[in-house]
Amino acid sequence: MAQTALNVVSEPFYADAPAVARVMAPEEAVFCFSADRLRARLDLFTRGFPGTVSYAVKSNPSQEVIATLAKAGLGHWDVASVHEMAAVHKLQPGAHFHYHNPVKSRREILDAYNKYGCRRFAVDAREEVAKIAAIVGDDRSVEMAVRFVLPRDRASSAHDFSTKFGAPEHIAIELLQDIQRRGFVPAMTFHPGSQSRDPQVYVRHIEAAHRIAKSAGVHIGKLNVGGGFPASYPLSKPAPLDNFFSLIAEATTRYFGKGTEPELECEPGRGLVANAMSLLTRIKLVCSDGDDIFLNDGIYGGLMEFMQAPELQPPYRVIRAGKVVGGPTKPWKVFGPTCDPLDVLPAKLDLPIDLKDEDYVEFGTLGAYGIATATVFNGYGSHAVIPVGDVFNG
């Protein structure tokens, strides 16, 4: 493991975002990152989850996050592309990859297998099984994890993955049998949906995994229960993580039988990294004859999730001269910096009545899918990452 590579995150330069605003006065929007918050959250997973913990790199692929997790001892990584493998491999050459994007090109499979030593591939179609088998040949150490899907409980998560990925039960049975017949290692995986608030959704999937494996007549040695573990937002307060972990362990034993349970794996993204970053934006213009303000970041930047799921609206606060602003508030319409009229938040924000140009608005709980989905439309979106001691989460 290259020591210089893992020294990306230094000791905190600032205590928090107000200190960043006071000392740096950044002109561009920046992400404030607390390595301490991330390490504490990782500790919750590694101590509580009854199996192997990996990290869903797609949720935040910044080198600061990857380096912190690698230095803290995380060795398994859930990846959706070879580009994510390259980012992790640069900082942790011995990383173990779970390539759990069910759709991969031949070149991607070949590069994952040869360049990065990947031996775990997710599948949800017969054609994908055949494609992987043709590329890896007679390497019987290769694991193929059948990704299955259940009818979605629409109240259980913020984002529905079942519309794109996952084999229905009768196809999953066939895939397991095909994998075993070819001599590869069969495994299973599912994803209950991002920000899954109800631990029972994992129980239902574990029961289905047992039913599918039994119907296929295939013993599965590993079951990946996916991501979906929730973070806490003002409009989405989930059960404690320990509730999820205990129900997952109990369900696995109940359905598979004590002593014959598969090894469990999980791949948190949002639930691991969300509370480790906040976004510090600056007000470019306050319109005195209305209720409009313009920020230096918006939906093409770190605030994309405002547009996708109302329950994922992050907490926010205003900072002036390095201090949090209180007092009476009113609803403000918030525009981003680009020339696109779509670049406006879908709902007004309650902010102080006396907003001023160059005040800062800090948005908390944006470690997941904030920096990951930002664009550089109109030249905005550089998003430096500033190490801090702690971040705002409401």
Q: Is 145 helix (H, G, I), strand (E, B) or coil?
A: strand
Q: Is pLDDT of 1 > 60?
A: no
Q: Are residues 122 and 220 in the same domain?
A: yes
Q: Are residues 216 and 358 in the same domain?
A: no
Query: The tokens 């890896």 sit on which residue?
Result: 136
Q: Is pLDDT of 6 > 50?
A: no
Give pLDDT tens digits for 287-307. 978 899 999 999 999 999 888
Q: Are residues 380 and 339 in the same domain?
A: yes
Q: Are residues 198 and 70 in the same domain?
A: yes
Give pLDDT tens digits for 233-280. 998 888 899 999 999 999 999 999 999 999 999 999 999 999 999 999
Q: Are residues 178 and 281 in the same domain?
A: no
Choosing from 238, 273, 308, the residue where a domain stops is 273
Exposed, middle or buried by CB within 10 Å (0-12, 13-18, 19+), for 258?
Answer: exposed
Q: What is the CATH number of the domain that holds 137?
A: 3.20.20.10
Residue 263 in any domain: the answer is yes
Choosing from 218, 241, 273, the residue where a domain stops is 273
Q: How far apart are CA 332 and CA 166, in angstroms?
A: 41
Q: Are residues 289 and 227 in the same domain?
A: no
Q: Is 212 helix (H, G, I), strand (E, B) or coil?
A: helix
Residue 231 in any domain: the answer is yes
Q: Are residues 178 and 204 in the same domain?
A: yes
Closest CA to 276 of 4, 9, 3, 7: 9
The tokens for 241 are: 């993580």
Q: Is pLDDT of 64 > 70?
A: yes
137: left (phi > 0), else alpha (psi -120 to 50), else beta?
A: left
Give pLDDT tens digits for 108-165. 999 999 999 999 999 999 999 999 999 999 999 999 999 999 986 545 544 455 667 8
Decide if 41 contacts 276 (C-beta within 8 A).
yes
Q: Are residues 119 and 245 in the same domain?
A: yes
Read off the amino acid at residue 325.
V
Average pLDDT for residues 65-77, to the nearest whole number? 98
* Lowest mean pLDDT across 36-45, 304-313, 344-353, 376-385: 304-313
Distance of CA 112 to the CA centre of its chain: 21
Residue 92 in any domain: the answer is yes
Q: What is the CATH number of the domain that holds 295?
A: 2.40.37.10
Q: Torsion angle, CA of 268/266/198/190, rounded to 10 degrees?
A: 110
The domain tally of the chain equals 2
Choosing from 254, 273, 292, the residue where a domain stops is 273
Q: Are residues 118 and 43 in the same domain?
A: yes
The tokens for 94 are: 């011995």
Q: How far apart are CA 226 and CA 49, in angstroms?
A: 12
Q: Are residues 267 and 279 in the same domain?
A: no
Q: What is the mean pLDDT of the chain?
A: 93
Q: Are residues 302 and 262 in the same domain?
A: no
Residue 257 in any domain: the answer is yes
Closest CA to 283 of 360, 383, 363, 381: 360
Q: Is 135 helix (H, G, I), strand (E, B) or coil?
A: helix
Q: Are residues 179 and 103 in the same domain?
A: yes
* Angle ∠(290,291,297) on CA atoms, nearest 5: 125
Residue 169 in any domain: the answer is yes
Decide if 110 contacts 135 (C-beta within 8 A).
yes
Residue 28 in any domain: the answer is no
Terminal-to-terminal C-alpha distance of the chain: 36
Residue 211 in any domain: the answer is yes
Give the pTM.
0.93
Which pLDDT score is estimated for 276? 98
Residue 59 in any domain: the answer is yes
Range of the domain at 53: 35-273
Give the number of C-alpha atoms closer than 13 A to the C-alpha of residue 216, restricted to the C-beta side: 26
